[in-house]
Amino acid sequence: MSTVELPFPGLQGVPTTDEKQTGKDFTSDQEVRWCPGCGDYAVLKAVQNFLPELSIKRENVVFISGIGCSSRFPYYLDTYGMHSIHGRAPSIATGLATAREDLSVFVVTGDGDALSIGGNHLIHALRRNVNMTILLFNNRIYGLTKGQYSPTSETGKVTKSTPMGSLDHPFNPVSLALGAEGSFVARTIDSDRKHLTSVLSAAAAHRGTSFVEIYQNCPIFNDGAFDAIKNPDTKADAIIPLVHGEPITFGARDETTGLGDKALVRAASGGVEVVPIASVAADQVLVHDAHNPDPSTAFAISRLTDSGYLNQSPIGIFRQVERPAYDDQARDQIRLASQAATTPATERLAGLINGGDTWTVV
Amino acid sequence: MAKQVRQLDRVIIRFAGDSGDGMQLTGDRFTQESAAFGNDLVTLPNFPAEIRAPQGTIPGVSSFQVHFADHDILTAGDSPDVLVAMNPAALKANLGDLNKGAAIIVDTHDFTARNLTKAGYAENPLEDDSLAEFDLHKVDLTGMTVEAVKEFGLSRKDAARAKNMFALGLLSWMYGRPTETTVEFLSKKFAKVPDIRDANITAFKMGWNFGETTETFIVQYEVKPAAMPPGVYRNISGNLALAYGLVAASVQSGLPVFLGSYPITPASDILHELSKHKSFGVTTFQAEDEIAGVGAAIGASFAGHLGVTTTSGPGIALKGEAIGLAVMTELPLLVVNVQRGGPSTGLPTKTEQSDLLQAMFGRNGEAPVPIVAPQSPGDCFNAAVEAARIAITYRTPVMLLSDGYLANGSEPWSIPDVADLPVIEPNFATADDLAEGEEFAPYKRDEATLARPWAIPGTPGLEHRIGGLEKGAGHGNISYDPANHDLMVRTRQAKVDAIADSLPPLEVDDPSGAAKVLVIGWGSTYGPIGAGIRRVRKAGYHVAQVHLRHLNPFPKDLGDILARYDKVLVPEMNLGQLSLLLRGKYLVDAIGYNQVRGLPLKAAELAGVIGDLVSEAEGIEVDLTPVPQEASK
């Protein structure tokens, strides 16, 4: 999916290596301790195998996570890493990425970590556009605390803490990220290794904050939450694939045109809507433009996500636009201010503290 | 008319007015003039939390007190000799602090029926004899200012705003202050608005001339320069000194400062100041909240920068979990708490030292954090360098406890020689530290300091994972082993305790060696305690003083020192937090003297308390009237 050549803009400043690296080089000696069947395994494998493709030095890769099942992720990668505190990974990653241009920074978080306790840091990282890649593992449940509803659980969900059904209206993570003016916003699925890898690659290529929501199944506390989009019988009608520059269609594929039997068109309301492709002229079908500076259409598409049983969900890169990255600009200010500072630091320090109105006592 | 000149050894002036009247600026200029003149001085700004509280009301009163002397002084003074009151509310709010005979200069212009009502005066105090016991000077400051600046064609409101400079001119004449620096300052400050610049300079000069010619004031006072140790001096506030100390720590360690901070009174000025020093490689990150501020600082520390976060007590409450993460990950981190009145939002603009126990214990688990406290505005510089030394050397978060009084108060500061500052070695780990075939162990410790290696991302061969979960000793992988946890908890504590090995012996101020009473304090009470002790000594009694810079760990000789005295007095601006720690650790019967008024302790009150203890300890009558020479009574 990515057409960007190496080295990626997102990795500029990160030292590269000619050495052949494999997934094994990125695998730590720690035993992986997720439940059998957890979607996290698939994502871990995909990440371990995708990292060598970047051709960057392993010691310059840092994974920062918060708290939750997915946040154990850094322990299983043989890179630098920090398993931090609940919800705060984006803030720690912001300091790290701003301090060091030569690091490739990833944040691993979950729906509770990123959208509940850490919601504030997520939206501010996105608006600042700090150069990092945020992987949000969305299993729509609290796993590590054993099964309470999460901010992406459907309304009415019966859990340990909501015996009569949850009352909360769920977040749509992609809508939230677009609302925060994220410059790269995508969604992918744990079980689709090929799509997952291509999105990760595009996310790493992007300079600024890349936000990737990964639908991830929790077989213990929320099994089947993504059945509609995973079941071979239903997934063609459930997944709305987004590919930049291509008409957005889904459903049963026409062998000759390659288009689905359902299409997205502009709605009279100003948003977008799904119609049978046969009911509209070909030029009325919406062509996906991830590079559109105006996020309105991407937002409208994100609203097609059915947040109940997930009967329907757009998958792919919703938005990918260029916007100055906070950390680049912060370092530029320091470089600019430092240009005139040619004398040794100790001399300049003496000048600083001797500034202002001074007097001498002899 | 011939004016008299009278010699004084020290004077306390308080400028008070509405929060829009420019009293802080007026006080600051008078301070700079006095500093340039060579007096020793201490200042105490006092202002409301509201930016513009309702005009003319008591909650809206802002004041600035400056104490200047021909000798070394320690406090901003208990009671002003001169009160400048720009309106009835300023008079009413401050009158209670004056002793009989104090001079009061009022701006009669603002004593209107409306303003009198707002201040809660039923009668005009200038017209009855309620102020009879004071030396009252009624001056139409506003009226004369407006008249003086007529030629500049300003609106009446703008013209009247220069009244603070008229008052400054008058006081500058009265105490023979040099005027050049103020004229220069006004020229620069208002360079872009020539009319306002000229009006202010004119008002300032007219104030001086008024003093010289009027019959209202017949005495001019002279306070000679103080004999200070040789050196180059400047006047400095605590927040500025602290910011400079952080830059110095960066230069001396070679680590760029990364400040993650969220604006909060009274700490914001450190953020403002550091944001100006990008040429030193300082990054300032104004975070979305207090937690993100410390989070980003921890991220920067992991990256090999000097991570710093600045805040006040409410911010520390929010940062607690993240500070615990820094304890667990054993990363260097400076946490600056400019304390203010609490709990909750409390008294944002007033001082207090009630966050000591929060600094000690305000985290979950056994999470020891070293604590360093400055004792005066200028000392904030050294305290910041010392806090950085501990953080970097021992790989630990360090709490630097300043307070509102230190932050905004100022004093002459003997500017240190950069060559005398300590060099701080970060000693980053590299693969060269490993023996052939040895695997990197992120929790293997230095034998002396118990510090773990600081291996920053980008270092080949030292890839490792840290985090908030308990780590196995040495290898640093997650460990739930009971014995390991017990070992790690004790090791983290032992590491902080080991800092005491690097501390110099305490300085005990006990000139006669005959004292039975020891006064021990920490932080900004240094000045008032010292001034109280001087009074007791001047009256001929013995008393010893120790002031703590390190609150955790305590210096090793503290226990022995405490045991040498019959009575240990602990004055604090809280309800006895250091007392509790001393009692707990040393089983000493620490006697508290505790005030939480949002203001510095008063030297006179302290002297009385010390005197009572001396009386009790020595079984004698104590009379605090000064005696000619320091002969024992």
Tens-digit pLDDT profile for residues B406-436: 999 999 999 999 999 999 999 999 999 999 9
Cis peptide before B457 (omega within 30 of 0): no
Which segments of B486-577 are extended strands (E)?
A: 517-522, 544-548, 550-552, 567-572
Helix (H/G/I), strand (E/B), else coil: B59: helix
Q: Model confidence over B457-516: pLDDT tens digits?
A: 999 999 999 999 999 999 999 999 999 999 999 999 999 999 999 999 999 999 999 999
- The pLDDT of residue B334 is 98
From CA A204, how far away is CA A216, in angstroms rounded? 20
Can you say whether residue B406 is alpha, beta or left, with left for phi > 0 and alpha for psi between -120 and 50 degrees? alpha
Q: Do A82 and B467 touch (CB under 8 A)?
A: yes
Q: Burial level of B147, CB count in 10 A (0-12/13-18/19+)? A: exposed
Nearest CB partner across the interface for B283, out of A80, A330, A352: A330
Residue with the two structure tokens 């288009």: A259
Q: How far is the C-alpha of A142 from the C-alpha of B377, rounded, in Å?
A: 49
- Average pLDDT on B98-113 reads 96
- On whether any CB of chain B is under 8 Å from the CB of A346, the answer is yes
Residue B256: its chain A contacts at CB < 8 A? 99
With beta carbons less than 8 A apart as the criterion, state whether B71 and B94 touch. Answer: no
CA separation (Å) from B375 to B101, B421, B501, B570, B610?
33, 18, 22, 15, 20
Cis peptide before A7 (omega within 30 of 0): yes
Cα separation values, B61 from A92, B22, B51, B53, B86, Å: 42, 11, 11, 8, 10
Contact flag A91-B292 (C-beta cutoff 8 Å)? yes
Total CB pairs under 8 A between chain A and B:
211
pLDDT of B630 above 50 = no
Length of chain B: 633
* Among A residues 74-133, those touching chain B with beta carbons less than 8 Å apart: 74-75, 77-86, 88, 91-100, 102-103, 120-121, 124
Report the distance separating Cα B633 and Cα B625, nearest Å.
11
C-alpha–C-alpha distance, residues B102 and A95, integer Å: 55
Q: For residues A302 and A147, is the Cβ–Cβ distance under 8 A?
A: no
CB contact under 8 A, B462 and A59: yes
One-letter amino acid identity for B518?
Answer: L
* A15 CA: distance to closest CA in chain B (Å): 9
- Measured on CA atoms in the order B29, B34, B37, B41, is the torsion positive or negative? negative
Q: Looking at the predicted structure, is the pLDDT value of residue B633 above 70?
A: no
Strand ranges (E), B523-566? 544-548, 550-552
User: Considering chain B, what is the average pLDDT of its residues?
Assistant: 95
- What pLDDT is recorded for position B242? 98
Give Cβ neighbours of residue A248 (< 8 Å, ≥ 6 apart): A240, A241, A242, A263, A264, A285, A286, A287, A288, A301, A314
Q: Which residues contact B13 (CB under 8 A, 6 or more apart)?
A: B30, B65, B66, B80, B81, B82, B83, B84, B171, B175
d(CA A146, CA B569): 53
B251/A95 touch (CB, cutoff 8 Å), yes or no: no
Contact: B288, A94; criterion CB under 8 Å? no
Tell me: the pLDDT tens digits for B345-361?
Answer: 999 999 999 999 999 99
Which candidate, B369, B303, B309, places its Cα nearest to that of B334? B309
Q: Do A95 and B299 touch (CB under 8 A)?
A: yes
Per the listing, tokens 């694939």 go with: A241
Q: Provide the ipTM.
A: 0.97
Token look-up 């300052």 returns: B185
* Beta strands, E only, A262-312: 262-266, 272-276
Go through the domains of chain B in sequence order and give each one's CATH number. 4-222 (3.40.920.10), 233-420 (3.40.50.970), 427-501 (no CATH), 517-618 (3.40.50.920)
| A56 within 8 A of A11, measured Cβ to Cβ | yes
- Judge residue B625's burial from the number of C-beta atoms within 10 Å of its C-beta, 0-12 exposed, 13-18 middle, 19 or more buried: exposed
Strand partners, A215: A138, A189
How many other CB atoms are found less than 10 A from the CB of residue A105? 29
Residues 70-129 of B with CB under 8 A from A: none
Which of B32, B282, B285 is the best mutation test for A, with the most CBs of A within 10 A? B285
Using a CB–CB cutoff of 8 Å, tell me whether B35 touches chain A: yes
Query: Can you give the pLDDT at residue B47?
Result: 86
Tell if the CB–CB gap between B466 and A75 is shorter than 8 Å: no
**Identity of residue B202:** T
φ, ψ (nearest 5 deg) of residue B546: -130, 135
What is the spatial order of strands in the sheet that B371-372 belongs to? B283-286, B257-261, B306-311, B333-339, B397-403, B371-372, B550-552
Torsion of CA A296, A299, A300, A305, to 10 degrees: 180
pLDDT tens sequence across A165-175: 999 999 999 99
What does B179-197 look like in DSSP terms, one character per residue?
-HHHHHHHHHHTTT-HHHH
Chain A interface, best mutation among B39, B186, B232, B302, by max A CB count within 10 A = B302
Q: From first to last of its 362 residues, what are the pLDDT tens digits of chain A?
A: 445 666 699 999 999 999 999 999 999 999 999 999 999 999 999 999 999 999 999 999 999 999 999 999 999 999 999 999 999 999 999 999 999 999 999 999 999 999 999 999 999 999 999 999 999 999 999 999 999 999 999 999 999 999 999 999 999 999 999 999 999 999 999 999 999 999 999 999 999 999 999 999 999 999 999 999 999 999 999 999 999 999 999 999 999 999 999 999 999 998 999 999 999 999 999 999 999 999 999 999 999 998 888 899 999 999 999 999 999 999 999 999 999 889 999 999 999 999 988 888 88
Which pLDDT belongs to residue A3?
Answer: 52
- Entry field: residues in chain A: 362
Q: Rounded to an integer, what distance in angstroms lies between the CA atom of residue A229 and that of residue B355?
A: 54
CA A321 to chain centre: 14
Whether the pLDDT of residue B48 is over 90: the answer is no
Distance CA B42, CA A330 (A): 38
pLDDT at position B284 over 60: yes
CB within 8 Å of A167: residues ≥ 6 apart: A155
Q: What is the pLDDT of residue A340?
A: 86
Whether the ω angle into residue B343 lies within 30 degrees of 0, i.e. cis, is: yes
- Look at residue B304 and give its three-state secondary structure: coil
Measured CA to CA, the distance from residue B280 to residue A335 in angstroms comes to 10
CA distances to A185, B109, B122, B134, B215 from B138, in Å: 70, 9, 19, 12, 12
| Torsion-angle region of B473 (φ positive above 0: left; ψ -120 to 50: alpha; else: beta) | beta
Q: What is the pLDDT of residues B52-68, one digit of tens each?
A: 788 899 999 999 999 99
The residues that bridge with B545 in the sheet, in sequence order, are B509, B519
- Compute the distance between CA of residue A295 and CA of residue A317 in angstroms, rounded to an integer: 12
Contacts of A98 in chain B (CB under 8 A): 258, 283, 285, 296, 300
